[in-house]
Structure formats: C-alpha cells, structure tokens
Structure 1
Amino acid sequence: MLNVETRHAIDPETAKTFDTEKLRRHFHVGDIFRSGEITLIYTHYDRMIVGGAVPAGKDLVLDEVKPCGTPSVLDRREMVIVNIGDDGQVSADADYPMGRGDMLYLGMGAGKVTFSGGGRFYILSAPAHQTYPSRLIKIDDAATVDLGSQATSNERTIYQFVHPDVMKSCQIVVGMTKLASGSIWNTMPAHVHDRRSEAYLYIDLPEEARVFHMMGEPDETRHMVLKNEEGALSPSWSIHSGAGTGSYTFIWAMAGDNVDYKDVEMVSMETLR
C-alpha cells in the first residue's frame, strides 16, 4: 500500500503566525513507518520526498508516485534509502542487501524499487539532471568528521554517506550524526543555508526520550517536540538545531543548489531570539 501526502512551501512571515498544531501540520514528519506500507511526503521544498517503507515480511513495490508526474518515481529523480531496522533488501537496478545503518544511493532511471525483509527503510528523493551509478554505502565507507566537546554537551561524529567527499550525486546530500553519551545538542551554534532545504529524522531514542527540534528564523525561533523515528522539514530560511533529553542519532538530508556541506551562514548567539 502506498500513501502520499503533499506539503506546500510555507514562507517565514506565515510561519510566525503558527501555533503548535499548525507548526506540526506543516513541518513535522511522523507516522511514516507503517507496517506493510510505503508512506511518502512530497514536499515543495526543493521537491524533496521523505518517507518510509516497512515490508514486514512481504515485498513492497514503489513505482508510480503521482505528484512526480512520471510513470516511475526514478524516471527523473535520484533516491537515498537508509535502513534503520533489521536486515533487509532493496531491489532496483540490482539487489542490495542492507543492514542497519547502511545507505543506498539509486541513480536516475534505476527503475521501480522493491523493499523486502526485516528492514525499516527511510526514503529520501530529489529531482536529478543526469544519472550517477547506484551505490550501497556501509558506515565504514562514510567520511567522518568529529565536532563539539563534552564540555558544551555537543560531542558528535558526522558520517557523510552521499556527499562530495564520498561519491557524486546530482543534488541530494545525506549523512548521519551520532551524539556521544552525555551530549544532547546538535548543530549549535545554529546556521542557515539559503541555497538548500533540509530534512531531519531522529532515531536511537528510548521510548520515553524526546528531542526539542529548533526551527524558525534566527530572531523568531520555534520548536517541536519529537520522539523516536520522527523528524522535521527545514526550509532554507530556517535554523535547524535540537536538544534531547539524552543522546541520540539523526539522519540529515539536503537538496538544492549547492552540495557543499560547509556552505552555511552561521548565526551568532546574540541573534537568536
């Protein structure tokens, strides 16, 4: 079963007027991992798609997605699939066995996508202008960057999977950040990047744990309270940061004009409101 929801873009002036319910309606990513189903959110932020597939012992096939306007989803798109569950398999232009934490890049034209096994698959997609080779990337193949410190509660390791330092893609850039034990902050001090939008997914949280995801313009911040396997859409005008009740992992994905990970505008602490 395929479920597709469309989210239209929200400008910062409109976002200032939102209460908690409206903020979550437009920016919250939740309930995308439904047993035996594929659930997608088609966004108007750089036309990025985020979603989930949970085969639960049967094959799930992702082919036509009506908002894309093509016979098959990858006819004019690239895709990254992250397994956050048990061992599973994704089949497209080839068969790709995937363990927990593996990421699979599928290039434009790779065909319909079939999910099977015990995996819980996080799906990310963006429009593509040419075909790059599909590639399964293990965590040992990722480029790593260590940032932060225990003293500032933001000691973390960034794993860059679909990233210029690892491989080529058209516009999608995807990685994973793991916080060290005792650290709770991600991406602080905050930044924005006007040339691309971003999506977050928080994982590895205990049932009772939460992340306070920060968003909004630097001088007009908002927050959403998120639990395990929930995330947020982050427009190009918004900061994206978060603090948890304990350490966690999050998957970040960007799409837009620039794939340079360091192409950001830092926000001073004095600016934040």
Structure 2
Amino acid sequence: MEIRHATHPDELGRMSDEELRARFVLSNLFEAGRLTVVYSHEDRMVLGGVQPVPGTPVQLENYPELRADYFCQRRELAVTALSGSGTVVVDGERYPLSYMDALYIGRGARDISFEAEAEDTNFFLSSAVSHSDYPTTLVPQAEALTTETGEQETANRRVVRKHIHEDGVQSSQLVLGITAPKTGNVWNSMPPHTHDRRTEVYAYFDLAEDDRVFHFMGLPGQTRHVVLKNRDVVISPSWSMHFGVGTTNYSFLWVMAGENQSFGDMDQISVPQI
C-alpha cells in the first residue's frame, strides 16, 4: 500500500511537474492478476485498481497500514467496472459487474474477492471511513440516476450517472458516479467549482492509446495541469478546482468523501476567475 500525504495549497505553485504527478496522479493501477492500492490522507480515502485474470480470483488484502482486523472493519468500499465483466464476491454472495456497474460494499464485510469473466476486466476501488452500517448494494449502469447537462455550443454536453448518493444508495461518506461527454464534446465540470468539505477523485477511462486528457487543478488564478492517459486517476484536494479537457470525448468516474454528501454544497468559479 502506497501512502500519499495531504497537500496545502501554498505548496502547489512550488512543485515541479514530476512532484505534481507524484503527489496527485495514480498511474498503472491496473496490472494483470494484481490489486494495487493507494492510501490518501486527503479525507483518508483508499483508491485502487484490480485486473483479475479469468479463472484466477484476486483477494482484497487487509493492509497493515489500516491497523484493522479486516479491510472493511471501519471502512466502506465501492467497486466499479471500467471495462470488461466479472464478479465481486462479498462474504460468499456473488455480485456480477459489467461495464459502468458499481457495487457498494458496507462496513463489516469481511471476505471480498474479484473475478473476471472477460479479458481486460478492470475494477476501480474507492473506500472511505465509515461510522454506520449500510447494506451491500449493486447499482447497474441502467439503474443509475441519469441526466444530461452542458451545451453542445461550448463542447461540454455530457451524460451524468449517479450510482451512490444521498437520494439513492446510502453510504456514510462515498458519493460516486460516472460522467461521459457526448461525441464532439471534450470539457468536463465546466465551469468549474470547489467544495472545501469534500475530496474528489477522477478516474479517466474510455480513452484510446494515443488520446489524452488535460486535467486542471489549483486555486483560481493559480492553475496547474497534468496530462493523463487511459485509466489514470487524479486526486483533487478539497480546496482545489478540478476540471479537464480531452483530445476526444471519454468517460470519467468521480468519487467524493468528506464532511457531507450534498451536491449543492459547492463554490462555483467563473471562467474569467480561472
């Protein structure tokens, strides 16, 4: 388990490109037959990727850094299929996941493993500290709360799917969904915002090998950016803007943890303020 420490906004402007990536970008989470996890001190989120090989399950470990008897002793966990199809086994119960399906796993689940039915099956993991027990619940893509927002004229028309949220599947902290700009649209979360009570993580996917996303972060007037490839993940501290533009359209999973779960609790930033 890799540890990523929290960052003060004053540090951002002094970071080199290499330091910026080392602090905020998670690359190469998905390797055949392996589970890779990162512990972030930003709202104590745990983020990970697993690419099971068909016929060989991968077990969720209990990492010593958590000081727990098992991974979900004090945590909740969301597992989302970014590609392929497979099964997540939770205490003997099997939950099939296909592309853009999400599984919420509540605090107290002890035995969790991942299986692939197809090659190149990739599950993204996101976890937060939990102080309540909520039932393990599967949210297929078709059952996510789906809306459209943005404008074609400004290249930010996008489909927003909400899988885990306060008006749907309940959780202690996690709020999760997937946004996909439509064909001919490339901007996400534009105009941008901050929410100083929640950390947000973006996992970009559905990008071709030669395509990239330029992800922007920082304070208004002090913008930095990182260039991301398919299945790269970026951590946005609660004080930071988070928005991006692609060389083509794409999909990205967004997941938040923090003080509250209200989508309305954000501070809008106008384009001239950026």
- Which of the five TM-score ranges fits, normalised by the shorter chain? over 0.9
Question: Residue 75 of structure 1: which of 73, 76, 80 is its match?
Answer: 73
Q: Does 1:53 align with 2:50?
A: yes
Q: Is the 8 A contact 2:35 2:48 kept in 1?
A: yes
State how far apart, in whole Å, the 2-side matches of 1:256 and 1:67 are. Answer: 21
Q: Does 1:16 align with 2:13?
A: yes
Look up the match of 2:198: 196
4+ aligned runs moved over 2 Å, structure 1 = none
State how far apart, in whole Å, the 2-side matches of 1:81 and 1:227 are. Answer: 21
Q: Is the 8 A contact 1:184 1:245 kept in 2?
A: yes
Deviations 1:55-111 (A, max 9, x none): 112111113122211021100000000011222111113211111111000000011
Q: Does 1:87 align with 2:80?
A: no
State how far apart, in whole Å, the 2-side matches of 1:270 and 1:109 are. Answer: 47
Look up the match of 1:114: 113
Q: Is the 8 A contact 2:85 2:97 kept in 1?
A: yes
State how far apart, in whole Å, the 2-side matches of 1:74 and 1:208 are. Answer: 38
Look up the match of 1:253: 255
Count of aligned positions? 269
Counterpart AA for 2:219: E
Q: Is the 8 A contact 1:63 1:112 kept in 2?
A: no
**How far apart are 1:218 and its partner, in Å?**
1.4
Q: Is the 8 A contact 1:214 1:221 kept in 2?
A: yes
Look up the match of 1:155: 157
**How far apart are 1:233 and its partner, in Å?**
0.3
Look up the match of 2:185: 183
Deviations 1:10-31 (A, max 9, x none): 1110111011100000001111
Q: Is the 8 A contact 1:50 1:124 kept in 2?
A: yes
State how far apart, in whole Å, the 1-side matches of 2:221 and 2:85 are. Answer: 44
TM-score (ref. length: structure 1): 0.97
Does the residue aligned with 1:181 lie in a helix, a strand or coil? Answer: coil
Does the residue aligned with 2:22 lie in a helix, a strand or coil? Answer: helix
Counterpart AA for 2:103: L
Counterpart AA for 1:110: A
Deviations 1:160-212 (A, max 9, x none): 00111222100100000011000000011110000000100001111110000
Look up the match of 2:225: 223
Q: Is the 8 A contact 1:143 1:165 kept in 2?
A: no
TM-score (ref. length: structure 2): 0.96
Counterpart AA for 2:188: N
| Structure 2 spans left out of the alignment, 5+ residues | none
**How far apart are 1:227 and its partner, in Å?**
0.6
State how far apart, in whole Å, the 1-side matches of 2:147 and 2:46 are. Answer: 26
Q: Following superposition of structure 1 onto structure 2, how do residues 106-145 of structure 1 map, counting pairs within 5 Å?
A: 106-117=105-116, 118=118, 119-145=121-147
State how far apart, in whole Å, the 2-side matches of 1:269 and 1:76 are. Answer: 40
**How far apart are 1:146 and its partner, in Å?**
1.1
Counterpart AA for 1:166: G
Q: Give % identity.
A: 39
Question: Residue 38 of structure 1: which of 35, 38, 44 is its match?
Answer: 35
Counterpart AA for 1:76: R
CA RMSD, 1 decimal:
0.9
State how far apart, in whole Å, the 2-side matches of 1:63 and 1:41 are. Answer: 13
